[in-house]
Amino acid sequence: MKISVVVPIYNEKDNVAILHKKIKDVMVKNSYDYEIIFVDDGSSDGTFEVMQQLAKGDKNLKIIRFRRNFGQTAAMAAGFDYAKGDVIVSLDGDLQNDPEDIPALLQKIEEGYDVVSGWRKNRQDEKKRVAFSKVANWLIGRITKVDLHDYGCSLKAYRSDVAKNLHMYGELHRFIPVLANIYGASITEIPVRHHPRQFGQSKYNLSRTFRVIVDLILMYFMQKFVTRPIHFFGIIGFFLFALGFGIDSYLAVEKIFFGMNIGNRPLLLMGVLLILTGINLGGIGIISEFLTRIYYESQNKKIYNIKTMINFDDKT
3-class secondary-structure state, position 157: strand
Least distance CB 72 / Mg ion (angstroms): 10
Stretch that binds Mg ion, among 43-51, 92-100, 111-119, 280-288 (CB under 5 A): 92-100
Rounded CA-CA distance 276/85 in Å is 53
Determine the Cα–Cα distance for residues 47 and 233; give it in Å rounded to an integer.
Answer: 48
CB of 100 or CB of 289, closer to ligand UDP:
100
When the beta carbons of 54 and 284 are compared against ligand UDP, the nearer one is 54
Nearest approach in angstroms of CB 121 to ligand UDP is 16
Phi, psi of 63 (to 5 degrees): -125, 130
Residue choice 94, 150, 189, 215 for contact with Mg ion (CB under 5 A): 94
**Cα–Cα distance for residue pair 45/43, rounded to 1 Å:** 6
DSSP string, 225-261: HTT-HHHHHHHHHHHHHHHHHHHHHHHHHHHHHH---
Type and span of the H or E element at 134: helix 127-144
- 94: contact with ligand UDP by CB under 6 A: yes
Tally of residues, the chain: 316
Pick the binder of ligand UDP from 35, 41, 150, 215 (CB under 6 A). Answer: 41
Task: Give burial (CB, 10 Å; 0-12/13-18/19+) of 228.
Answer: middle
**Residue selected from 8, 79, 229, 278 as contacting ligand UDP according to rule CB under 6 A:** 8
The residue within the footprint of ligand UDP, chosen from 93, 177, 237, 271 (CB under 6 A), is 93
Question: How many CA within 13 A on the CB side of residue 116?
Answer: 21
Among 4, 6, 12, 177, binds ligand UDP (CB under 6 A): 12
For residues 6 and 29, give the distance between their C-alpha atoms in angstroms, rounded to a whole number: 19
Of residues 166 through 205, those in contact with ligand UDP by CB under 6 A are 202-204
Find the radius of gyration of the CA atoms of the chain: 25
Q: Which is nearer to ligand UDP, 75 or 212 (CB)?
A: 75
CB of 76 vs ligand UDP, minimal distance in Å: 8
Q: How many CA atoms lie within 13 A of 4 on its CB side?
A: 24
Assess contact for 132 and 123: CB atoms under 8 A: no
Q: Which is nearer to ligand UDP, 65 or 224 (CB)?
A: 65
Distance in Å, CB of 39 to ligand UDP, minimum: 7
- Interacting partner of 90 out of ligand UDP, Mg ion, none (Cβ under 5 to 8 A depending on kind): none
Of residues 92 and 101, the one with the C-beta less far from Mg ion: 92
Residue numbers of the site for ligand UDP (CB under 6 A)?
Answer: 8-10, 12, 41, 69, 71-72, 75, 92-94, 96, 202-204
